[in-house]
Amino acid sequence: MAKKSRILYILHYLWDRTDEENRVTISELRKELEDQGFHANRKTIAMDLKELQENGFDIICVRSRQNQYFLGTRGLELAELKLIVDAVQAAKFISLSKSISLIAKVAELASPAQRRSLNRRLYIQGKPKTSNEQVLYTIDLFHTAIADEKSIDFQYIEYTVSKEKVLKHHGKMYHFSPYDLVWDQDRYYVLGWSESHQKISKFRVDRMVRPSISSQPFHLKPDDYNVEKFCGQVFQMYDGLNEEVQLLCSGDIMKNIVDRFGEDVRTTPMPDGRVRVTATISVSPTFFAWVFTYGEKIRIESPEWVRKAYLKQLEAAYNRQKDE
């Protein structure tokens, strides 16, 4: 038992205090062990280190007058840990307090010297954090429900004109069969069958209140359900009438077209350098706003009703501005 405790202490010491630039000799380990009440000599410590190596721990020995040891691989490289920290800081669905807690836990996977470099300050333009502290647990609940094909009950919040949070429809309980979680525009959405809407719908996870596994039956996925197709049609997560639309676009915004519709979008190069884009989208004010962003570089060609609806939106916006 004493030997196991000694080996565990050595492993803990190497994990917590060593890396490639901070090594320890057997003499230093022996003194540390004796200070902690362990009996050890150079030979037993060398055997303990060898046993740890044989059991898969990446303990590196740097040969010198006094051999120096440190823990090499920790599962994740420092660059990977930094990436995780940046992602946690950037994610809007993780509250500030939960972000601080998660980053502290991630830092424990690095050596003490490396932890200082994980104390990063990443500025995210225009990305306020959620105030919902339960989002991570809600996401985990949905992962479980999706895997086990269980339905979920929850309430949903909305905001009054004074920015007050209130329960939607006076606290109505939604019954929902989740199929997929989608991360879009730094927000988590869940897609599935809504009993109240009687169709595939999506909800913002951070706006859910008191979600729980339901005793009601799970609604199986419709045969034609496809998450990629659904997300592609529901443009920027706004519902509208799905329609195949042709757009005539300037060639210099092809990267924006690919970003919006994906690399598989149907395109036809035109002799004048423009490109005709054919995509099935959700015709909505959000789609029209996106088209307007590019001004003369995008023109809606067909169908005619979509083109006219866009012109009507522009005319209405112009008249409102003129009246003001």
Q: Write the CB contacts of 68 (distance below 8 Å, at least 6 apart in sequence).
A: 23, 24, 25, 61, 62
Instruction: Using the predicted structure, report yes or no on whether residue 122 has a pLDDT greater than 60.
Output: no
Q: What is the pLDDT of residue 234?
A: 59
Out of 118-127, 164-173, 262-271, 308-317, least confident range: 118-127
Average pLDDT for 67-95: 81
pLDDT reported for residue 26: 94
When pLDDT is averaged across residues 127-155 and rounded to a whole number, the result is 83
User: Does the pLDDT at position 1 exceed 60?
Assistant: no
The predicted structure's pLDDT at residue 235: 45
47 pLDDT more than 50: yes
pTM > 0.85: yes or no: no
User: What mean pLDDT value characterizes the chain?
Assistant: 84
Residue 315 has pLDDT above 60, yes or no: yes
